[in-house]
Amino acid sequence: MLKAVFFDLDNTLVDFMKMKRSSVEAAASAMIDAGLPLTRAKAVKRIFEIYSAHGIEDQQVFQRLLKQTLGKMDYRILATGIAAYRRVQTGYMTPYPGVRSTLLALKEKGVKLAIVSDAPRMRAWMRLASMNLAEFFDAVITLGDTKLKKPASQPFKKALREMGVGSREVIFVGDNPDRDVAGAKALGMKTAWARYGAVLKQKPKQKADLVLNSPADLLKAFS
């Protein structure tokens, strides 16, 4: 019997890549207006190349761009880019349609809820707080808790311990088959692939027990 749902965060509860691209585009435009000698398209391309090399959560991405482009740091351009990024980021930090109503329905059924995310601890909490979702979750496991990313077993195991449930009493929901579905299945959890948030749209190699075209489809596992 399922007693708990563990969720990934980015591209499962929040459209992370939409937020990221919109924020980067705003930052690029602002930095160009402040004197960055690139076209908007070229600046955005270089920023995502840096993310690809250093990780999508890289906190030095604009510093790296400036050093790469100018050969030095220009704090006026840097501050302008960061400010623009943050303004847009806040506006796009909203849950997918149906997330809140689904969480409410699960809570009404007495289902325990947790987050298992590869995001840094403070960023994960800030995203949840910005979306007014933090109160739904009994545990939030982030990269800072185990220093390991999914599909490593440690983040999943820590969530199981904190929630006081067995792996066969959990269904894990995530957008990344190779990390979310594979990691959860290896421990015996049921799995749900959040196809609505998947960045890569091709057929996944790891088959989930349930495919979600919307967050509300998760409720089928409890009907």
Give the DSSP H or E segment for 6. strand 4-7
Residues 139 and 79 grouped into a single domain:
no
pLDDT given at position 212: 96
Strand-pair category, 170-174 with 4-7: parallel
pLDDT given at position 201: 57
pLDDT given at position 78: 98
Residues 207 and 117 grouped into a single domain:
yes
When divided into structural domains, the chain yields a total of: 2
Whole-number Å distance between alpha carbons of 106 and 101: 9
pLDDT < 50 stretches in the chain: none
Half-sphere exposure of 50 (CA within 13 A, CB side): 20
pTM: predicted TM-score of the whole model, two decimal places: 0.86
Point out the domain boundary residue: 92, 110, 129. Answer: 92
Residues 50 and 11 grouped into a single domain:
no
pLDDT given at position 200: 62
Residues 129 and 196 grouped into a single domain:
yes
- pLDDT tens for 145-200 read 999 999 999 999 999 999 999 999 999 999 999 999 999 999 999 999 999 998 76
pLDDT given at position 171: 98
pLDDT given at position 122: 93
Cβ partners under 8 Å of residue 28, min gap 6: 36, 38, 40, 43, 44, 47, 81
Q: Is the peptide bond before 151 cis (omega within 30 degrees of 0)?
A: yes
Point out the domain boundary residue: 68, 92, 116. Answer: 92
